[in-house]
Amino acid sequence: MRIYLRTFGLCIVVALLSLVFLFSKHDEGSFSAGFKQVRAPLQQKSFNGAKAKQRPTATTSHRDVVQNPNSPVQEEVLMHLAAVACGERHGEVVNMLKTAVTLSQRALRFHIFAEQQLQTSIKADLDSWPAFIQGKFSYVLHPISFPHEHHEEWSQLFKPCASQRLFLPMILRELDSLLYVDTDVLFLQPVELIWDMLMLFNSTQLIAMAPEHEEPRIAWYSRFSWHPYYGKMGINSGVMLMNLTRMRITQFKNDMTPVGLHWDELLMPLLQKYKLNITWGDQDLINIIFHYNPEMVYTLPCHWNYRPDHCIYGSNCAPAEDEGVFVLHGNRGVFHSDKQPAFRAVYEAFEQYTFGEDLRQSLLSRLEVALNETTHTYCGKASHFFTTGLQKSVRRLQRATPPGD
């Protein structure tokens, strides 16, 4: 009888242990599933109601993405240039791209984020360029895309669509590096010169930007800002050279959490905290981020983002005085007004230039004549800085082009 009781008791123990094991496996599976559910939103952000992996990108065929089939070149040799165009920016973005492709010798891929009504006209302009120019670039037209749950708030921050650039690391997930510029930018030097600065980044740097000001007496951030900003006078977001891979994987220090947050986790909490204190929209948010992470910024010299503030109160960009202006940034609408005629003259010179004409005669010489008419203004007195950089580019291109081509 005792033998039967012991056997029965042993069976009971084995059954109980089996049940404990099964429940433990079930709980482990439930925990793993719950963890995946928590992390999933961070890996697949929703843009316009669609998961990120379903959104059109530069490498997919989709009705919202238009690709130029010309010049299929190897991905690894491409320089990727991005811009955002909304409202009346069609002419600006096309002229900016014209300067890039005119002066650069390496292959370019343009990533143009534009409202639907602008995409047709931008495509028509780019497709109308001559074949020898189209052989130098390819392009992708992207729809404007913000996180679905806060679309209205982001789309109207500062200027329509301006904050789109904040989301480029998440949208262009297939890219390692990217040069972003505002549409009101003109290249006076080839894109490859700034693109090659990626190789100058140290192990912590992931973005290159120029200071907002060089002169403390006219600096906006140090005099008027109600929020933290980078360095002594802030940084300007009109020209940004980015290592997107590093931006996606890095955890950024901040003043909201004791641990670092990824770029996509940081943006909305930052806006919610500072939206009543910021004036320049997404540029202010970028300044706040890099105030707490200054080691991540490679500082561009001011002649890579030369604006009216560098000459309107007298010359205050020493690199431009020594080497000329490399990137001209006509912010505050100066390309289209009479406020700074020297800036407008450069814009119109490129706009009127016809591909294939002699660069020295049809672009540079005409520009020098137009700039001579602006010397009554402060920036006009410094306008030889504009042609110094451009002269270098023209000489470089002429040396690289065999006679008769």
Provide the residue type at 221 as one letter. Y
pLDDT tens per residue, range 156-169 = 665 778 789 999 99
The answer to whether residues 171 and 96 belong to one domain is: yes
* Residue 31 lies inside a defined structural domain of this protein: no
* Residue 69 lies inside a defined structural domain of this protein: no
Radius of gyration over every alpha carbon of the chain, rounded to an integer in angstroms: 27
pLDDT at 321 over 70: yes
* Residue 30 lies inside a defined structural domain of this protein: no
The answer to whether residues 254 and 346 belong to one domain is: no
Domain-ending residue, one of 302, 321, 342 = 302
The answer to whether residues 347 and 241 belong to one domain is: no
Question: Looking at residue 56, what is its pLDDT?
Answer: 41
The answer to whether residues 170 and 255 belong to one domain is: yes
Number of folded domains in the chain? Answer: 2
* Residue 267 lies inside a defined structural domain of this protein: yes
> What's CA 40's distance to the chain center, in Å?
26
The answer to whether residues 292 and 324 belong to one domain is: no
Domain-ending residue, one of 302, 331, 356 = 302
pLDDT tens per residue, range 106-120 = 999 999 999 999 999
What CATH number did the domain enclosing 190 receive?
3.90.550.10
Residues 340/376, Cβ–Cβ less than 8 Å: no
Q: Tokens for 351, please give them.
A: 């706009």
Strands 207-211 and 235-243 turn out to be antiparallel
The answer to whether residues 280 and 349 belong to one domain is: no
Higher per-residue confidence, 257 vs 76? 257
Domain-ending residue, one of 302, 330, 359 = 302
* Residue 202 lies inside a defined structural domain of this protein: yes
* Residue 249 lies inside a defined structural domain of this protein: yes
The answer to whether residues 186 and 328 belong to one domain is: no
Higher per-residue confidence, 228 vs 66? 228
The answer to whether residues 272 and 374 belong to one domain is: no
* Residue 33 lies inside a defined structural domain of this protein: no
The answer to whether residues 286 and 324 belong to one domain is: no
The answer to whether residues 323 and 285 belong to one domain is: no
Provide long-range contacts, Cβ within 8 A and 24+ apart, for 370-378: 370/345, 371/342, 371/345, 371/346, 373/341, 373/345, 374/341, 374/342, 374/345, 377/340, 377/341, 377/342, 378/311, 378/312, 378/313, 378/314
Average pLDDT over residues 262-277: 90
The answer to whether residues 133 and 263 belong to one domain is: yes
Strand order in the sheet with 235-243: 66-67, 137-143, 108-114, 79-85, 177-181, 235-243, 207-211, 297-299
Confidence grade of residue 404 (pLDDT, cut at 50, 70, 90): low
User: Structural domain of residue 346, as residue ranges?
Assistant: 310-398
pLDDT at 319 over 60: yes
SS3 42: helix
The answer to whether residues 106 and 188 belong to one domain is: yes
- Which pTM value belongs to this model? 0.81
Triad 101, 247, 204: Cα angle to 5°: 100
pLDDT at 367 over 50: yes
Provide the residue type at 244 as one letter. L
* Residue 29 lies inside a defined structural domain of this protein: no
Question: Looking at residue 220, what is its pLDDT?
Answer: 62
pLDDT at 324 over 80: yes
